[in-house]
Structure 1
């Protein structure tokens, strides 16, 4: 078995894929109205599946609110530069930051992702 991609649900797969294409620099390898896939040269990709009833997760988690099911960890060389680039690309920096050396950001649909330095 080989993992081919992680999948994020979204009301607009092409819009969310465009955000991550800009953020990660990965090319689109599948492009349809309800499914888009990005893939780096090596390794698993990231796919976006249309979910018309999508509800943004709450970060940090809160009782009774839509829970985050997963998040992405993205290794960076310079945390400040990466956060600025993510925001310029359309992300927001989460108000709650649980630890030093990691910045939780939210993509345009509210999926959390962590930028971190090794």
Structure 2
């Protein structure tokens, strides 16, 4: 095993989600999976894992047992930016005194992720 090269996320609209995550993470959409039912943010050659979105016919049902954590400098600015891009706040917030703050968010298709601000 060398390293984690990426995460693949099932979705209805790969290009839409790739655009959301590209803007959020300031990473480019790549042509690494140049197929109409796939879209990719980043590359397998990047030091950070790439995100690949693959179209599936079935809708998301229930809570996924894996989510991404995105570190931010300002939790309130991050929430506003995510909502501007089409994501939403779940209403979940955890404050850890002396450590940081975590907000539960979703992307435009409802995939859960957290934004984390460490102190």
TM tier, shorter chain?
0.7 to 0.9
Aligned to 2:116: 116
Aligned to 2:66: 70
Aligned to 1:46: 51
Aligned to 1:89: 85
Aligned to 1:63: none
CA distance in 2, matches of 1:33, 1:15: 12
Aligned to 1:61: none
Aligned to 1:99: 94
Structure 1 gaps, min length 5: 57-65
Corresponding residue SS for 1:103: strand
TM-score w.r.t. structure 2 length? 0.82
Alpha-carbon deviation of 1:68? 1.2
Structure 2 gaps, min length 5: 96-100
Structure with more of its chain in strand, by fraction: 2
Q: How many residue pairs end up in the alignment?
A: 108
Q: Say which of 5, 14, 37 aligns to 2:40.
A: 37
After TM superposition, where is structure 1 displaced by more than 4 Å over at least 4 residues in a row?
none
Aligned to 1:62: none
Alpha-carbon deviation of 1:9? 0.5
CA distance in 1, matches of 2:72, 2:40: 22
Alpha-carbon deviation of 1:54? 2.6
- Larger deviation, residues 13-22 vs 33-42: 33-42
- Alpha-carbon RMSD: 1.5
Alpha-carbon deviation of 1:42? 2.4
